[in-house]
Amino acid sequence: MDDNPYAFIIDELLNDDHSHNCFENNNQYDELLNDDHSYQSRYMLLNVISKGSYGIVYRAQDMNTGEIVAVKHEFHGLSRPTLREIRILKSLPRHPSIVQFKDTIVEDRDRVFVVMEYIENDLERLMNVENSRPFTLSEVKCLMKQLLEGLAFLHENGVMHRDLKPSNILINQVRGQLKICDFSLSRYFGKASGSYTPGLVTLWYRAPELLLGAKEYSCAIDMWSVGCIMAELLLKEVLFRGNNEIQQLESIYMLLGTPDHHHITCPRFSSTFHNAKRPYNHELRLKFATATYFSGAPLLTERGFELLEKLLTHDPLKRITARAALHHDWFKEYYGFLNLTDSE
């Protein structure tokens, strides 16, 4: 057993995605409580950073050290997602592209707080600032390199993130650092692929195999999300914007086409797509061919577009891995590359 205070129960919970709260009928719950440890005794809440269906994230000050931290109040208490996030963050070694875990406070069944390092911005917020300039190619490369380094680290340690999107990517604007956060939908995997809960990952960043209801999938779903994020960084707009799963698939096939080997076999979508065939990636190439910087330089070189194609490949078995993507020639091109963290 490791030093995780939840280790005696958490292992049996990690392989089940379905139950909302794992302690509804568990008399071991009381053993997790620490009556002498409340967030008010150590952290002073300063302001709300974000709010969602999962909970509220506050900017707070550690009154023992003076450090500014992020405190997430989990709405669903000690649910499986919360336990899984705690286990993953505590068990992983430190990595510069993964948000740092600091503390967990369990006051009662519905009052669970996860304390992490504070980063002032996320990628979605930066991209949505009105009248802000697009990221330069050097900035995109710097961010993509850090994102891929963090994801390669997760995958090589047996973790699928399962909800990569701009709001789950934190950015330190002063130092140019990127950190992946929010592991509430993440899970460990024991093999290259397996049978897991379908329908995860926010819709706009969800891989085609998940949209088609696949339960057998791998960490390749994270790589699809990375491709969507890469395109969004360059274009400053969401690449595939559907309101539901059918529209999302339509959006993907409109831009990427339907390759000959890819057939629609999901009954609920078969009447919509009829195995439609479009030139593979033709519309995506046109979209980037007509988009340039103010200087007239293209958003992507041919090598850059090759990497994007490898990320946005329909077949998950052919989708590029995070480690392979880090070694792609796009990062070796002198044009448009500057690693902002090298000067630190």
* 110 is a catalytic site residue: no
3-state SS track over 149-212: HHHHHHHHCCEECCCCCHHHEEEECCCCEEEECCCCCCEECCCCEEECCCCCCCHHHCCHHHHC
Overall size of the chain counted in residues: 344
Q: Report pLDDT for 5.
A: 39
pLDDT in tens, the chain (344 residues): 344 333 333 343 334 444 444 433 343 344 444 434 566 778 888 999 888 767 788 999 999 999 999 998 887 777 777 888 888 998 899 999 999 999 888 877 677 888 999 998 999 988 887 667 778 888 899 999 999 999 999 999 999 999 999 999 999 877 789 999 989 889 888 655 555 665 567 899 999 999 988 888 899 999 999 999 999 999 889 999 999 999 999 999 999 987 554 444 454 444 444 444 555 677 888 888 766 665 566 778 889 999 999 999 999 999 999 999 999 999 988 654 444 444 33
Among candidate residues 137, 136, 159, the one with its CA nearest the CA of residue 222: 159
Q: Report pLDDT for 146.
A: 97
Q: Where in the chain is the domain with CATH 1.10.510.10?
A: 121-343
Q: Where in the chain is the domain with CATH 3.30.200.20?
A: 7-117
Q: Report pLDDT for 291.
A: 63
Beta bridge mates, 103: 115
3-state SS track over the chain: CCCCCCHHHHCCCCCCCCCCECCCCCCCHHHHCCCCCCHHHCEEEEEEEEECCCEEEEEEEECCCCCEEEEEEECCCCEHHHHHHHHHHHHCCCCCCECCEEEEEEEECCEEEEEEECCCEEHHHHHCCCCCCCCCHHHHHHHHHHHHHHHHHHHHCCEECCCCCHHHEEEECCCCEEEECCCCCCEECCCCEEECCCCCCCHHHCCHHHHCCCCEEECHHHHHHHHHHHHHHHHCCCCCCCCCHHHHHHHHHHHHCCCCCCCCCCHHHHHHHCCCCCCCCHHHHHHHHCCECCCCCECCCHHHHHHHHHHCCCCCCCCCCHHHHHCCHHHHCCCCCCCHHHHC
Active-site position among 2, 16, 108, 163: 163
- Here the tokens at position 83 are 């336990």
Q: Report pLDDT for 192.
A: 52
Instruction: Give the CA angle between residues 88, 93, 95 to the nearest 5°.
Output: 100
**Which numeric CATH code is attached to 7-117?**
3.30.200.20
Model pTM above 0.95: no
CATH class of residue range 121-343: mainly alpha
